[in-house]
Each structure stands twice: as C-alpha cells, then as structure tokens.
Amino acid sequence: MASQNVHICLKTKTKTLVLIALICGLISVPFGFAQTFENTPEWISSLNSQDNWFSDVAISSDGNYIAALGENPGQLLFYTKESNASVWSHSLPLSPIDLSMTPDGAYIVAGYLNGYESLSYVAVFANNQSSPLWTYQFPSGFDVTRVAISNDGKTIAAAINHLTGSYTLQTKVLLFNTSDFNSPSETDFSGILTSLTMSSDGNYLAVSTSHYSNEGEGKIYLLSSIERKILWEYSIGLDADCSVISGDGKYLIASGFSSRYSAQLVYFFSTQSSTPIWTSEIDSVHPGVRPKISISENGSRAVISGWYTPAILFSTSYRDYLNYTFKRTGGDCNAISRDGSYAVTAGPFNKITIFKWTGAAFEIAWSATLNEDILVDDVGLSSNGRYLVAGTDHGGLILYDNTKARQVSSQFENPWFWAIVLAVGATVAGASALVIRKQFKKNKSAIALKKV
C-alpha cells in the first residue's frame, strides 16, 4: 500500500512539473520563434548594356506606373506594372542625375548632365510620350543635383551647384511654373546642397546644405514657393546631411553631424517654427555617415538608414525611437509608403528589407537577398505600400508585390530562448530528483514505523 502511495504521489508531482515546463516553454516561444518570409519579383527589366544600372526610380500611388533612370547609356524609361518592357524611353546625354514623378504618374521631371559640354538640364515629360514637354538649360558650369515636382505637376524645383574660379561654391534652387518655364525664380544658399524635397501641393520646400571646412555651418532651410523666399533656417553645425518635408507640409525632419555635440543627430520640426520639437542622436555604426530619410504624408512615421548604419524606423510622436532600430538591415536608400504602413531599406549589401507597421512599431515583413555583385541604388513604394520597385546596379529594375510574400522557414533564432529552455529543463530535472528523494525517504520511514 505504501509503495502504491509513492507511485501515485510521484506521478502527480511529475505531471505538475511537466505542466510547469510546458507553460514556461510556451511563454518563451514568442521571444525566440522567428518566421522568415521572402518574395518573388513580379518582373525584372534589363538594359541593353553590361552594366544594367538603374540609378533612380519612382512609382505612382497605385503602383500602375514606374519611371526609372538608366545609366550607360543614359536614358529615362517609363513602364507599367503589367510588363517589364518599357512603354517608351528617352535618351539622355551622358549622366542622368535625379528623377521625380507626380503620384498619379502623369508627369515626370528629370535632371541630367552633359559633362562633355559642362551643361545641365531639367526636362518635364508626360507619361504618354517620350519627347519632353519642355527643357531648361542651366548656365554653363552649373551642375544640377536635385529635382522635385508637385502633385499636380505645375511646380518644379531644381537645385544646382557651381564652383567659381576662386573656388567659392554657389548653390541655387530654381522654381519653375509650367505656365512660364522660361522665367524661373532663384534662391541662393551658402554651402553644398545635400537635399531638396517638396510638399505635395508644391507650396513648401526643405533644403539642407553642408560645409566641408570649419569656415561655415550646415543649415536646414524652409522655403516658400509662393512667396519665393526662405521662411526660416536652422544651423546644426558642420554637416547637414538631409532634410525631408512631409507631404502635407506640416513637418520637417533632418539629420546632420553636430560639431557642438560630436554626434550624428536627428531633428524634428513643425514647419511653423525653426525650433525643433525634439532632437535625438542616431545610433550610427559608422561615424560621419550621410543617412537617407523618408517620411510619411502626414509626418507621423519615418525611416532613417545609411551606409553601414542600422535601419531606424519610428513614429515621430516618440522622441526615443532607438527601440525601433533594426541591425543588419541598413542601406543608403529607403522609402516609406504615403500612409506609413510600409517602409523599405536597401543596399549596400545586396539586401532589400520590407517593414510593416503593426500599430505600435515596425516589424520586418520580408526580405530578399540578391546576387553578391548586385547593389541596390534606389527604391520606391506605392501609396499603400503594396508595390515596391528597386533600381539596381547589375541587377536590373525589379518590381515586387508585397501581398505575395510567403513564409519559407520557421526557427528559434533568439539565443535567450535556448537559455530559458535549458534553465527550465535543469530546474525540472532537479526538482523531480528532489521530490523523488524526499518522497522515498518519507515512505521508507513510514514503512519502518509500521514494522515497529
């Protein structure tokens, strides 16, 4: 009878301990269980050249239209999402520089150089013809660096740099109205222009400039295209890397290296004031990196990434966004959907990573690793994030549909999971041995007393 009691007791204790182990294991799974997703391109378009280099891309809000700049030879190409064969192409002399397209895909603006003649141009195209609607030639010696276009296609901006004979750098932003593109307004800036972006209605522009000597300061500017003047400016130290204005024109986010703090900082502004709402330091792997920034239409979410810099994705309402840093997913090109539901980072290590907003933070949705010799030069997302286009060096122009990503593997990749499993296993084994030993001693004593 005593032996039977021992067996029942041990069986009950063992079940309890096993149940505890299972519960601990289930609790641990979310911390270590990872699902890997990948995606197959809808199509890949190649140029008739060995380099096969697409340097800049743009995609319409609905994903139906795609524009791209091809290199070697230089050309502007226009596609629909239905085919990897371009609808039309337009030859550009020597060096395509920058590209922008209206959200409906109706108009495209391109900036390009003719280095042999030291001439720069900006040209506007309609999506139904390969010949430009108009072309503007800048004065000799001025190099076009950035272009932008408003949603309705009526306002175009172009940034140009010029190094004078006395080695003084001149930077200008020209504003064009399609009703009279021969008479642009000019605004002068000091330093080297590093970025130019425009609000959706074309009323505001964000401009950043840098100095490569200690003689000047990098600055962020807010420019009004209506008043044709600078509304405010903000000095951030030696190097202003990038400034981006939200589509609604209400917010501006910028980054730069501050000589005052010897750190790479991010600044978030309301366009109503030159005083930042918040400032925070970038957790940069490579000091002095020039990160790229993208921001959603209403300024609520943003992505920052750069060469050797982790991707940082965050809600702009939170000052401390470092919790949303993703290691090994950085790159010198990125994009975010108009609604902020999806973001993408790519390059330099032939990897494309798609992130999805979950309601509280961004999470990796899927990733693609291209061949080792392929570099991603630019990416674009449709308004709702469904379609992704990537321009690559040696890999062609690639179109993805984010809804077609599929799970390819599941694994316990977090080492903390295995540490928890081993700890639980050791605890259960030790507890089981202790219970058996105590129960055996108790039962032995009971049998001895009974005999007496």
For residue 446, give the 3-state DSSP assignment: helix
**What's the DSSP call for residue 402?**
G
Q: With contact defined as beta carbons under 8 Å apart, do 307 and 264 qualify?
A: no
Model confidence pLDDT, tens digit, residues 210-253: 875 555 578 999 999 999 999 999 988 767 889 999 999 999 99
Residues 393, 442 share a domain: no
Structure-block tokens of residue 253: 């986010």
* Domain span including residue 328: 300-404
Spatial distance between the Cα atoms of 97 and 394, rounded to a whole number of angstroms: 18
Could you write out the DSSP letters of every residue in 99-165? EEE-TTSSEEEEEEEETTTTEEEEEEEETT-SS-SEEEEPPTT-EEEEEEE-TTS-EEEEEEEEE-T
Q: Cα-flanking dihedrals φ and ψ of residue 36, to 5°?
A: -105, 130
- Which residue is it, tokens 């501050």? 258
| Residue numbers of the chain with a pLDDT score lower than 50 | 2-14, 17-33, 285, 322-323, 446-452
* Residue 429, domain member (yes or no): yes
pLDDT score recorded for residue 87: 97
Residues 390 and 430 in one domain: no
Does residue 315 fall inside a structural domain?
yes
Same-domain status, 421 and 391: no
In a domain, 219, yes or no: no
Omega before 41 within 30 of 0, i.e. cis = no
**What is the spatial distance between Cα 199 and Cα 167, in angstroms, rounded to a whole number?**
33
Q: Are residues 320 and 359 in the same domain?
A: yes
d(CA 326, CA 262): 23
Pair (389, 433) in one structural domain: no
Q: What's the pLDDT at 428?
A: 56
Question: For residue 310, with 0-12 CB atoms within 10 Å meaning exposed, 13-18 middle and 19 or more buried, which class applies?
Answer: buried
Helix axes 415-451, 2-32, angle to 10 degrees: 170
- Residue 194 covered by a domain: no
Q: Assign 397 to helix, strand or coil.
A: strand
**Residues 68, 70, 76, 80: is their CA dihedral positive or negative?**
negative
Closest CA to 95 of 125, 65, 117: 117
- Which residues lie below 8 Å from residue 430, measured CB to CB, with a gap of 6+? none
Q: What are the distances in angstroms from CA 438 to CA 33, 110, 219, 277?
A: 37, 82, 75, 65
The CATH number assigned to the domain holding 397 equals 2.130.10.10
Task: State how many domains the chain has.
Answer: 2
Which of 404, 423, 441 corresponds to the end of one domain? 404
Of 154, 93, 92, residue with least CA distance to 118? 93
Nearest to 397 by CA among 42, 38, 37, 105: 42
Rounded CA-CA distance 414/82 in Å is: 40
Query: What are the pLDDT digits (tens) for 359-378?
Result: 888 889 999 989 888 889 99
Whether residue 345 sits in one domain with residue 424: no
- Residue 349 domain-assigned? yes
Q: Give dist(CA 126, CA 346) in Å, integer.
A: 29
Of 39, 51, 40, 75, the C-alpha closest to 396 is 51
In a domain, 45, yes or no: no
Residue 336 and residue 398 share a domain: yes
DSSP classification of residue 288: T
CA separation for the pair 66, 86 (Å, rounded): 9
Same domain, 390 and 306: yes
Answer yes or no: is 391 within a domain: yes
Is residue 386 included in any domain, yes or no? yes
